[in-house]
Amino acid sequence: MDMPITIEIVYKNISKKIFDKVFAYFKYIDNKFSIYKKNSEITRINNGAFKKDKYSSDMKEVFKLSEKTKKETNGYFNILRGDKFDPSGLVKGWAIYNAAKILLKEGMKNFYVDAGGDIQAYGKNRQEQKWRVGIRNPFKIEEIIKTVAIENKGIATSGISIRGQHIYNPFSPQKSITEIVSLTVIGPNIYEADRFATAAFSMGNKGINFIDNLKGFEGYMIDKNGIATLTNGFEGYIIK
* CATH number reported for the structural domain that contains residue 186 in this entry: 3.10.520.10
For Cα atoms 11, 14, 16, give the angle at the middle one, nearest 5 degrees. Answer: 145
pLDDT score, position 240: 63
* pTM, full prediction: 0.94
CB 155 within 8 A of CB 117: no
Average pLDDT for runs of 10 along the chain of length 240: 89 93 97 95 94 94 98 96 93 98 97 96 98 95 95 93 66 84 97 97 96 98 97 94
Number of domains in the chain: 1
- What values do phi and psi take at 184, rounded to 5? -105, 135
Residue 84, beta-bridge partner list: 81
Residues contacting residue 13 through CB under 8 Å, at least 6 positions apart: none
Distance separating alpha carbons of residues 165 and 178, to the nearest angstrom: 9
pLDDT score, position 162: 56
Give me the percent of the chain exceeding a pLDDT of 70.
97
**What's the residue count for the chain?**
240
The distance of Cα 197 from the centroid of its chain, to the nearest Å, equals 7
- What single DSSP character describes residue 237? G
pLDDT score, position 165: 55
The domain containing residue 53 runs over which residues?
5-237
